[in-house]
Structure formats: structure tokens, C-alpha cells
């Protein structure tokens, strides 16, 4: 997303929250404390995102006196539209946290209830992303992480060995070039890899695997990650950034129609790819997932824990909720974050924040999911570090880094100059915390 869009959205969110903080009031009609309760829950793309309805239905089945009704929002304008409803006192009781970087804005606007007393299961990931000044304002229910999707048929056609879990980024780059040459030799119009245009496809891995923090304002650690992408583009191992943008390429189209043999992408794509292969929107081929390539061999291999990134998605409670609904809302949060909620999500191919052995078994029992050992390892064994630190400075910094990303990969600036400009802008344009 371009910085101008981020800034506009950010100002709209802040303005709406400021109004909402002053307005007070609840969301919806208050139900008697001892009678039926209706909770409203925000979501987006409800026709194609089944998780909200699945969790709502299952919770109501267990709690017949509580009905959970969905409030749908446009995915692209979710935070802006949601905060406008909050300002108008028509916001939902349970607020889905779509992007971690906006959590501090909701907290500063007084829109999230402290839910530190909601008990979370051991082993759940992403909970720390919702902590602000020692209090917890949401709970994670899903937490996608980034892995490497690969097309086994294309590897076979190119005569290249499948990923084995031990790859570093150097191994990945070499494999992409070898695949491209092999596929061309086999008469296929395809490349070894496809990297989508998002800044996270470079910066997310660099942040996590180098242990760096974007809030510190120094971005030299990004240089080798960007240089690798440029080298792969120059070698023809993946399509270049400008062509991908001009042709509005999608990662689903590039991988699903076998134009690329490898795809770094979040685990949410598992469910999408299964559905698209079943519907015919993606071609029929055997695929698997492997751990994302690593910065060094120290975290590579199935005897180690690979490092990747991913932000959780969570549920918080509207601070203006009627008191008679608070207990039921907290019960819903605990349900969604717990084992039962995780099983429901796994059954529909959504990656829960809680990955127990039974949950992983349920996930891979979905028809069309890969069943090889490396796919199970990649899905269930990793250290997931947050893409976005929980800070009121994050959105502005990410906007600047997004401009840098486009400038470097489009060729309008060098890696070194792009990084230097981003550092200068962060120092001058973003207030210090």
C-alpha cells in the first residue's frame, strides 16, 4: 500500500476513534442480564471468509441463550469503516483485529476493553501482539505464518530435487535459477519462483530472521534481502516487480496455473489453493509446503526450528459494550482462542493460533491438503515473529518502508539510496515513541 493511502487511512482511523472516544454509548440494544443475549461480531468478505460464521454458529450451539450476529465490512477499508461505526455508536460488540499495527490506535481511542482476565491455552501464538502498557486488549484466534509452496510436478519436469527443509536463501535462489533453466528446456513457459509485490515478501523475512526492529530506524539489514530479489529478477528466475504490477499479477494465478514452481506465501493460501483446485480455478497438480528458506544454516533443517513471520488475527471487545454482555463476549473470546475454536478453524483450512497435535491432524485431514512429512513439519514447527510491532509508530513507518520497497524493486533508486532515504524520512517524519 502506498504511503499516501496509509496516511489517509491512518488519519481517518484516528479521527473516527477520537470521536468515538467522546461519544460513549453501547452497541446495539442491551439484553437483560438473565435473558437471551445477542452479540455482534465484525468481519470482512463474509461470502469468502467462512471463519466468522463457523465460530459464531459453534459458540451459539454451545450457548443457546447467546446469538452471535455478523457485521460485514469491506476488506480494503475495514479499519476506516469500522471506526466510523464506533464513532456513530453502531459498532460491533466484538471487534476483529484485522491488522496488529492498528491495535494501539484503538487502545488510545478508548475503544477496546481490557481482556487480560480471558484465560488463554498454553502454546497459543501471537498473544503478545495485543499487549499495550501491560494490559491485553484482544486475543489471537488465528495466526498464519509464511512458508514455501512448491509444485512437485514442475520440480520433476525440471529435474530438480524437492526442498528438504534445509534451505537457506542462497539455496532458494540457486534452485529458482535451476528450475527456470530446466522448465525452459522442457518446453514450459514458466519460472522457478514468483514473489508477490507486497513489501512483507522481503521485509517480513528480513525483520524476523535478522532479529531487527523497524522502530529503531536503521534498515541496513534489508540490503542483502533486496539485492537477492534484484539478482533473481535479472537472472529471469522470477518475474520482475514492474511487469507483475503492470499486468496486475496475482500469486494465486501465478502458482495455481503453474507459471511458477515456488511461492513464498502465508499459510492462508493452503485453504485457497485446495478450494481453487476443487473448483477448477487452479490446475490439478501435486504440491507441498516447506519451511521458508533461512538466513543461515543455524535455523535450517528439520532438527532445528525455522524462523518465519506472521501477524495474528484477534478478537477484542468494544469498550462501550453493555455490561450485561461482557461475560458472554469474554466467553466467546476464550472459545475462539481455545482448542474447540482451533479445531473448527482447522476443519475449514484456516490456520489457528493454537496448534496442538490434534489440531494439526484435523488441518491436514482436509481433502486436497498435502500429507507428506515435510508439509506437516513446515506447518507445525516454526518460530513465528510478528511482522508488525505493536506501536503507534508502526503504521507510519510501514508506509515509508512501503515507498522504499517500490522504489528499489522498480529500479527508480538503488538499494543503498533507498534505505538511506527511508532512514532519513523515519527520523524526520515519525514522532519518537
Instruction: Give pLDDT tens digits for 397-411.
Output: 999 999 999 999 999
Distance CA(203)–CA(219), nearest Å, equals 10
Q: What is the pLDDT of residue 4?
A: 27
Distance CA(75)–CA(30), nearest Å, equals 28
Q: 46-55, 66-75, 146-155, 280-289: which has the minimum mean pLDDT?
A: 46-55
Mean pLDDT of the chain: 91
Q: What is the pLDDT of residue 17?
A: 40
Q: 15-19, 79-83, 95-99: which has the minimum mean pLDDT?
A: 15-19
Nearest to 313 by CA among 268, 368, 247, 254: 268
pLDDT tens-digit readout, 252-285? 999 999 999 999 999 999 988 998 999 999 999 9
pLDDT tens-digit readout, 17-64? 433 333 333 333 334 456 799 999 999 999 888 899 999 999 999 999
Q: Average of pLDDT values for 289-309?
A: 97
Q: Are residues 139 and 352 in contact, defined by beta-carbon separation less than 8 angstroms?
A: no
Distance CA(255)–CA(263), nearest Å, equals 7
Q: What is the pLDDT of residue 34?
A: 64
Which of the two residues, 30 and 336, has the higher pLDDT score? Answer: 336
Q: What is the pLDDT of residue 48?
A: 80
pLDDT-derived band of residue 433, with 50, 70 and 90 as boundaries? Answer: low
pLDDT of 170 over the 60 cut: yes
Distance CA(306)–CA(433), nearest Å, equals 31
What domains, with CATH codes, occur in the chain? 3-144+310-354 (3.40.190.10), 146-306+390-429 (3.40.190.10)
Q: What is the pLDDT of residue 349?
A: 85
pLDDT tens-digit readout, 105-119? 899 999 999 999 999
Amino acid at each position: 500500500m502506498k504511503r499516501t493511502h496509509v496516511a489517509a487511512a491512518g488519519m481517518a482511523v484516528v479521527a473516527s476513534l477520537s470521536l468515538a472516544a467522546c461519544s460513549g454509548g453501547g452497541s446495539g440494544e442491551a439484553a437483560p442480564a438473565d435473558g437471551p443475549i445477542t452479540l455482534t461480531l465484525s468481519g470482512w468478505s463474509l461470502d469468502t471468509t467462512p471463519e466468522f460464521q463457523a465460530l459464531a454458529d459453534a459458540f451459539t450451539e454451545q450457548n443457546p441463550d447467546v446469538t452471535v450476529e455478523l457485521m460485514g465490512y469491506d476488506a480494503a477499508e475495514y479499519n476506516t469503516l469500522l471506526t466510523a461505526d464506533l464513532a456513530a455508536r453502531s459498532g460491533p460488540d466484538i471487534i476483529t483485529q484485522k491488522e496488529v499495527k492498528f491495535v494501539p490506535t484503538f487502545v488510545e481511542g478508548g475503544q477496546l476493553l481490557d481482556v487480560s482476565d480471558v484465560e488463554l491455552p498454553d502454546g497459543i501464538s501471537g498473544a503478545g501482539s495485543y499487549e499495550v502498557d501491560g494490559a491485553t486488549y484482544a486475543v489471537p484466534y488465528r495466526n498464519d505464518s509464511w512458508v514455501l509452496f512448491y509444485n512437485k510436478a514442475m520440480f520433476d519436469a525440471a529435474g530438480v530435487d524437492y526442498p528438504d527443509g534445509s534451505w537457506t536463501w542462497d539455496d532458494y535462489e540457486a534452485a529458482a535459477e535451476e528450475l527456470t533453466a530446466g522448465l525452459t528446456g522442457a518446453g514450459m513457459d514458466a519460472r522457478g519462483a514468483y514473489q508477490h509485490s507486497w513489501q512483507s515478501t522481503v521485509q517480513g523475512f528480513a525483520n524476523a530472521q535478522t532479529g531487527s526492529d523497524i522502530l529503531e530506524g536503521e534498515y541496513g539489514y534489508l540490503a542483502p534481502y533486496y539485492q537477492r530479489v534484484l539478482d533473481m529478477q535479472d537472472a529471469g528466475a522470477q518475474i520482475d516487480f514492474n511487469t507483475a504490477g503492470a499486468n496486475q499479477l496475482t500469486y494465486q494465478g501465478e502458482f495455481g496455473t503453474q507459471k511458477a514452481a515456488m511461492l513464498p506465501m502465508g499459510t492462508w493460501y493452503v485453504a485457497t489453493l485446495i478450494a481453487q483446485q476443487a473448483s477448477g480455478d487452479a490446475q490439478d497438480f501435486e504440491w507441498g509446503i516447506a519451511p521458508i528458506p533461512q538466513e543461515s544454516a543455524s535455523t535450517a533443517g528439520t532438527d532445528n526450528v525455522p524462523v518465519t513471520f506472521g501477524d495474528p488475527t484477534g478478537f477484542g471487545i468494544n469498550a462501550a459494550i453493555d455490561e450485561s454482555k461482557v461475560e458472554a463476549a469474554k466467553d466467546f473470546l476464550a472459545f475462539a482462542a481455545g482448542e474447540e475454536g482451533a479445531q473448527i478453524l482447522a476443519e475449514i483450512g484456516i490456520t489457528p493460533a493454537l496448534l496442538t497435535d490434534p489440531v494439526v491432524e484435523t488441518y491436514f485431514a482436509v481433502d486436497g491438503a498435502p500429507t507428506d512429512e515435510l508439509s506437516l513439519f513446515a506447518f507445525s514447527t516454526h518460530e513465528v515473529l510478528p511482522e508488525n510491532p505493536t506501536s503507534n509508530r508502526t503504521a507510519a513507518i510501514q508506509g515509508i518502508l512501503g515507498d522504499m520497497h517500490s522504489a528499489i524493486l522498480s529500479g527508480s533508486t538503488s538499494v543503498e539510496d533507498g534505505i538511506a532515504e527511508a532512514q532519513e524520512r523515519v527520523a524526520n517524519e515519525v514522532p519518537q515513541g
